[in-house]
Amino acid sequence: MLTFTKGLFLSLLMVVTWLNPVAGQSDDGHGSHPEGNSHAEEKFDAGKFVIEHVLDSYEWHIASVGEKHINIPLPIILFSKYPELHEGRKLHIFMSTKFHHGHEDYRGFRLSHSEEYNGKIVELDAHGHEIGRPLDLSITKVVAGIFVSVIVLFSLLFVAAKTAKRNRGKAPSGIQNLLEPVIVFIRDEIAIPSIGEKKYKKFLPILLSLFFFILLNNLLGLIPIFPFGANVSGNIAVTMVLALFTFAVTNIKGNKHYWKEIFNPDVPWWLKYPIPLMPIVELSGVLTKPFVLMIRLFANMLAGHMIVTVFISLIFIFGSLMGPAAGYGVSPVSMVFSVFILLLDVLVSFIQAYVFTLLSAIYFGMSTAESH
Amino acid sequence: MELVTPNLGTIFWMVIIFGIVVFVLKKFAWKPILNALEEREETISNALNAADEARKEMADLKAGNEQLIAEARKEKEAILRDAMKLKDSIIAEAKEKASAEARKDIENARQQIQNEKAKAINEMKTQMAEISLMIAEKLIRKEMASDKQQQEMANKLLDEFKLN
């Protein structure tokens, strides 16, 4: 019980420091760039604070204690477009600490603060001017967050698979017990009704993978303690790839009837000839479906993260506008609202994972439906 | 703007990671889990079916048992009734036999008594005749001690005869 209370206190402390607005103010002011000086004043910028919390970054910021920032450095992997500027090498791998939070250039690369490439790594020419971005395959915070959730996902599911193998024909136990109702739900309430009794088996693995991957990323994104809390499912590149997988499976597994419905639907001939009106509409539908999937998940999860940070930053907005007393006065209200929104986000996490999976299943079902 | 611009590096890693996730999970997680699930569902439905059948069999058995019991009860009653009848008849027969025997015995006894009686009477008759003869002889002998007396006697008898 004592260790639990201690752990709870520690995690609360972590939450508070994690949300420390000092982090939002960045560490500029004494950097090597002329742009850095504009951020020197000690004013709390709520917009910047909120956006920086949901944006990707090259290092994983854990907490700031006063002026000291605790960061987990992440590997940076770059393919230069101008190898002659970087000691003749194309591939560059180094840790993010080399930039010293953007205060220093390294090997002809810079963590940009310019209008165009803000926060991104750019290549520098011989005179120190930014000339464009290299091919940037760095393990950023979001990628690291994906790795973390994949590790969690694998350990959960492999344990479940092991018990499933051991408990053949017997009652489920442990994590298997936790996951099986969800798996059964996806099979019986999503896959079978949307795809049909005959073909659902082919699509079940991808649907389950999508659901658990999204759900886990959503939920882990709500935990503000390292190594969780990265805004993975609120990152548009992540949701885009998820939607692309649905898109690819839908169109690769699409049967003759599916393609006929797109290019030669059963509509009056003048809708298809001479202007292929319906095919154009149908084809755009093929593209909008994954697009909508991408936007929905991204926007929902991003909004959840943003609202929580906005409520927290309210404390500091009030604090900076009317003095520390107002900040302390507002903090309980902000906390209550944040907790409420977080709980709401737990619900949203499940709903979005469900909706994404359900719509994917419906698209799969549409692409494999027989003509009626 | 950066928020809604997909980052190429993130896309690259995400495709690789999610591709691996789908492949690995399909092979090492979903397959065993789903197989186990299906197997268990089959086992459960089989078990339920078996239970149903067993229940039906039980009901059949019970019905059979009840019928058997009813039959047995009927048979028992029949047997009891028969036994009762048999008992009655045996008793009646025995009674009849006993009474017949008794009657026969009585008859025999009576016969015997009759016979004995007749015998006794006959014997008595002969004895009485003898005694009477003896008495008569003695009497006569005494009466006929003298001639006079013999005469008188003869007369007297004669008188008597006359009277008849």
> What CA–CA distances, in Å, run from B91 to B78, B94, B95, B101?
19, 5, 6, 15
Across the interface, do B32 and A164 touch by the CB < 8 Å criterion? yes
| Final residue belonging to a domain, choices A86, A118, A138 | A138
Chain A residues in contact with B8 (beta carbon < 8 A) = 135-137, 237
CB proximity list for A343: less than 8 A, separation 6 or greater: none
Q: Where are the alpha helices (DSSP H) in chain A?
A: 2-18, 21-24, 46-54, 141-166, 175-185, 192-195, 200-222, 236-252, 256-263, 277-322, 324-368
Across the interface, do A164 and B9 touch by the CB < 8 Å criterion? no
The parent domain of residue A189 ranges over 142-368
d(CA A154, CA B24): 9
Whether residues A91 and A153 share a domain: the answer is: no
Tokens 């019905």, located at residue: B63
d(CA A230, CA A209): 20
Whether residues A264 and A222 share a domain: the answer is: yes
- The answer to whether B26 touches A202, Cβ cutoff 8 Å, is no
* Nearest CB to B21; choose among A135, A167, A209: A209
Classify residue A333 as left (phi > 0), alpha (psi -120 to 50) or beta.
alpha
Please list the residues that pair with A123 across neighbouring strands.
A109, A132
- Of residues A74 and B148, more confidently modeled: A74
SS3 A72: strand
Whether residues A131 and A170 share a domain: the answer is: no
Give the DSSP letter string of A324-349.
Answer: HHHHHHHHHHHHHHHHHHHHHHHHHH
Q: Tell whether the model's pLDDT for residue B161 goes beyond 80.
A: no
The parent domain of residue B130 ranges over 2-163
> What CA–CA distances, in Å, run from A209 to A179, A181, A199, A248, A369?
12, 15, 17, 15, 22
d(CA A60, CA A95): 12
d(CA A200, CA A193): 9
| Final residue belonging to a domain, choices A138, A172, A201 | A138
Query: Would you call B29 an interface residue with chain A, using a CB distance cutoff of 8 Å?
Result: yes
pLDDT digits (tens, 9 = 90+) for B85-121: 998 999 888 888 888 888 888 888 888 888 888 888 8
| Final residue belonging to a domain, choices A91, A112, A138 | A138
Pick from A203-212, B3-12, B137-146 the range whose average pLDDT is largest. Answer: A203-212
**Which of B33, B42, B45 should one mutate to test binding to chain A, selecting the residue with the greatest count of A CBs within 10 A?**
B33
- The answer to whether A138 touches A76, Cβ cutoff 8 Å, is yes
Across the interface, do B17 and A146 touch by the CB < 8 Å criterion? yes
- The answer to whether A89 touches A78, Cβ cutoff 8 Å, is no
d(CA B142, CA B150): 10
Half-sphere exposure of A15 (CA within 13 A, CB side): 17
- The answer to whether A39 touches A26, Cβ cutoff 8 Å, is yes
> How far, in whole angstroms, is CA A208 from its chain's centroid?
19
| Residue B105: per-residue pLDDT | 85
Whether residues A77 and A180 share a domain: the answer is: no
Q: How many CB pairs under 8 A join A and B?
A: 128
- The answer to whether A149 touches A216, Cβ cutoff 8 Å, is yes
**Single-letter residue type at A335:** M
Is B153 exposed, middle or buried (CB count within 10 Å of its CB: 0-12, 13-18, 19+)? Answer: middle
Total domains in chain A come to 2
Whether residues A148 and A114 share a domain: the answer is: no
Across the interface, do B11 and A213 touch by the CB < 8 Å criterion? no
Across the interface, do A302 and B8 touch by the CB < 8 Å criterion? no
Q: Tell whether the model's pLDDT for residue B11 goes beyond 60.
A: yes
The interface pTM score, or ipTM, of the predicted complex is: 0.83
| Residue B1: per-residue pLDDT | 66
Total domains in chain B come to 1
Strands A68-73 and A75-79: unpaired
At residue B156, φ and ψ (nearest 5 deg) are -50, -50
Whether residues A107 and A222 share a domain: the answer is: no
Is B138 exposed, middle or buried (CB count within 10 Å of its CB: 0-12, 13-18, 19+)? Answer: exposed
Whether residues A59 and A204 share a domain: the answer is: no
Tokens 């220093």, located at residue: A104
Tokens 């004592």, located at residue: A2
For residue A344, the distance in angstroms to the closest alpha carbon of chain B comes to 23
pLDDT digits (tens, 9 = 90+) for B39-78: 888 888 999 999 999 999 999 999 999 999 999 999 999 9
Whether residues A266 and A360 share a domain: the answer is: yes
- The answer to whether A287 touches A321, Cβ cutoff 8 Å, is no
Whether residues A154 and A102 share a domain: the answer is: no
For residue B53, the distance in angstroms to the closest alpha carbon of chain A comes to 21
Q: What is the pLDDT along chain A (372 residues), one digit of tens a residue?
A: 444 444 444 444 444 444 444 433 333 333 334 433 344 345 678 888 888 888 888 888 887 777 788 888 889 898 888 887 777 788 888 888 888 877 788 888 888 888 778 788 888 888 878 888 888 888 989 999 999 999 999 999 999 888 888 877 777 888 888 898 999 999 999 999 999 888 899 999 999 999 999 999 999 988 888 888 888 889 999 999 999 999 999 999 998 888 888 888 888 888 888 888 888 999 999 999 999 999 999 999 999 888 888 888 888 888 888 888 888 888 888 889 889 998 999 999 999 999 999 999 999 999 998 876
| Residue A277: per-residue pLDDT | 87
